[in-house]
Structure 1
Amino acid sequence: MGKVILDVRELSTKYVTRFGESVYAVDRVSLKVEEGKSLGIAGESGCGKSTLALSLMGYYFAPLHYISGDIIIDGVNISKMHPDEVRRKILGKEIAYIPQAAMNALNPTLKIINFIEDVIHAHDPKVPKKQIYEMARQRFEELGLPAEVLQKYPVELSGGMKQRTVIATSVILSPKVLIADEPSSALDVTSQKMVIKMLRDMMERGLVKAMIFITHELPLLYNVTDDIMVMYAGQIVEQGTAQQVVFDPLHPYSKGLMGSIIVPESGVRDVKLTAIPGAPPNLKRPPQGCRFADRCKYVQAECRVQSIYMREAANNRAYRCIYPEEQLRKVYENEG
Structure 2
Amino acid sequence: MGKTMLEVDHLKTKYITRFGENVFAVDGVSLKIEEGKSLGIAGESGCGKSTLALSLMGYYFAPLHYQSGTIKVDGVDITEMKPDEIRKKVLGNEIAYIPQAAMNALNPTQKIISFIEDVIRAHDPGASKKEIYDLARERFEILGLPESVLKKHAVELSGGMRQRTVIAISTILSPKVLIADEPSSALDVTSQKMVIKMLRNLMEKGFIKSMIFITHELPLLYNVTDEIMVMYAGQIVEHATAKEMVFDPLHPYSKGLMGSILVPEKGARDAKLTAIPGTPPNLKNPPKGCRFADRCRYAKPACMLHPIAESRLEDGRMYRCYLEEKELREVYQDE
TM-score, structure 1 as length reference: 0.98
The answer for the alignment partner of 2:293 in structure 1 is 293
State how far apart, in whole Å, the 2-side matches of 1:309 and 1:36 are.
30
SS in 1 for 2:306: coil
Q: Percent identical across equivalent pairs?
A: 74
The answer for the alignment partner of 2:100 in structure 1 is 100
SS in 1 for 2:223: helix
Shift of 1:268: 5.2
Contact 1:247 1:268 survives alignment (8 Å): no
- Please tell me the root mean square deviation across aligned C-alpha atoms, in Å: 1.0
Structure 1 gaps of 5+ residues are none
State how far apart, in whole Å, the 2-side matches of 1:288 and 1:119 are.
45
Matches within 5 A, 1:319-330: 319-330=319-330
Q: 1:237 to 1:267 in 2, by over 3 A?
A: farther
State how far apart, in whole Å, the 1-side matches of 2:207 and 2:290 are.
40
Shift of 1:266: 3.0
The answer for the alignment partner of 1:332 in structure 2 is 332
Shift of 1:124: 2.5
Deviations 1:34-74 (A, max 9, x none): 11010000000000000000000010111110000111111
The answer for the alignment partner of 1:68 in structure 2 is 68
Shift of 1:126: 2.1
State how far apart, in whole Å, the 2-side matches of 1:245 and 1:13 are.
26
SS in 2 for 1:178: strand
Amino acid of the residue matched to residue 325 of structure 1?
E
Give the paired residue count. 335
The answer for the alignment partner of 1:31 in structure 2 is 31
The answer for the alignment partner of 1:192 in structure 2 is 192
Is 1:142 aligned to 2:142, yes or no? yes
State how far apart, in whole Å, the 2-side matches of 1:216 and 1:283 are.
20
State how far apart, in whole Å, the 1-side matches of 2:269 and 2:139 are.
39
Amino acid of the residue matched to residue 87 of structure 1?
R
The answer for the alignment partner of 1:127 in structure 2 is 127
Shift of 1:267: 5.1
State how far apart, in whole Å, the 1-side matches of 2:51 and 2:323 are.
29
Shift of 1:22: 1.2
SS in 2 for 1:240: strand
Structure 2 gaps of 5+ residues are none
Deviations 1:117-160 (A, max 9, x none): 11112223222122111111111111010111000000000000
Amino acid of the residue matched to residue 228 of structure 2?
I
SS in 2 for 1:79: helix
Shift of 1:309: 1.2
Amino acid of the residue matched to residue 214 of structure 1?
I
Contact 1:107 1:154 survives alignment (8 Å): yes
SS in 2 for 1:67: strand
Shift of 1:269: 5.8
